[in-house]
Amino acid sequence: MSMNKSLFSFGLISDIQYADIEPASNFSGTEHREYRSSVHAAAAVVKAWGSLESPLTFIGQLGDLIDGQNAGAYGQGLTLDRPQSEQALERVLKIWDQYSRTVYHAIGNHELYNFTWAELRLKLNTQRVQCTHQVATQEFYYSFTPYPGWRVIVLNSYEDNVIKPKSEQSRLYTERLLKENNHNFGAKAPFNFFEGVSVEKQRYVPFNGGFGERQLTWLKVELATMKERGEVGVIASHLPCFAPAASPKNIAFDADSLHTLIGSYTEQIWAYFAGHRHGGGYAQDHHGIHHVTIQSPLTHGICATTVEVYDDLLKVCGVGAHRSYHLTRG
């Protein structure tokens, strides 16, 4: 454990997935989901953060604020009198009102079940962030400097997706990618998208997404800039990019490309934080980069992390049911 004084700290939470519906299991019956109480668990986390002796510098919300069933298109949502996406999002966003720290939002698949990209741009990430390119904020990938010599990069793991494609070109590309790698794509729900699919191809399901060439090119510039300036930092996104820290079923389509890229900048990138897999996870890759998947309040109750940053250590302190980790460099 570091004997130095912490430089700054930040909070991470992911997959609240609130909906005013009954508790239920996931499709495979492997996890129990408390849709109504997840917002109360998240509020308890924010209250805990507010009571810290040293205030957090920022909070990172890594996607899936509300559940897709709020849109009324599947599951219990089909029994709703009308879609309740707006009401659900408003209720979850209110929990941040009790704490004055800046909240940076990543986009998950459940945001896209409920809203268009244009709507999300108006509802989330309206604060000013320090970006290399103006387009980055609009497209939900950007970087900012919370402390001198430090940079946080937030990536959009749904730049390519079939839920709400950003363009016709992206839609055609992603549909072709899924068809080529998953013979179940196109089947009517409910359906097990993983049936008969090899482990290597289990990432190719409609509720995952990809970073895309344009974003990875942008990221390469960001990393090169960090190297030039002697900066260090972390990356955060909704989808993991390293299966041992999550599952082969939960990583991004082009996770390998991203993983290779950041592996070329091990002096700059200390850790990669993600959500999506509700059970969480941790692994250190062969580059020495730590990968932490945040556990979900939907399945774990009061659950989040406080990350204390030292010169030689990232102290990931579990809040509530979340596991804790000590992440050293290299």
Given CATH 3.60.21.10, say whether it is the number of domain 8-328. yes
pTM of the model: 0.95
Q: For residue 181, how many other CB atoms are within 10 A of its CB?
A: 17
Q: For residue 250, how many other CB atoms are within 10 A of its CB?
A: 25
Any idea what the Cα angle at residue 102 is, between residues 133 and 214, rounded to 5°? 25
* pLDDT tens column, 77-120: 999 999 999 999 999 999 988 777 789 999 999 999 999 999 99
**pLDDT for 266:** 96
Q: Which residues of the chain, if any, have pLDDT below 70? A: 1-3, 126-138, 188-191, 330
Mean pLDDT (the chain) is: 92
Give Cβ neighbours of residue 125 (< 8 Å, ≥ 6 apart). Answer: 104, 105, 137, 140, 142
* pLDDT tens column, 8-42: 999 999 999 999 999 998 877 789 999 999 999 99
The SS3 call for residue 114 is helix
Percent of the chain with pLDDT over 70: 94
Q: For residue 225, how many other CB atoms are within 10 A of its CB?
A: 14
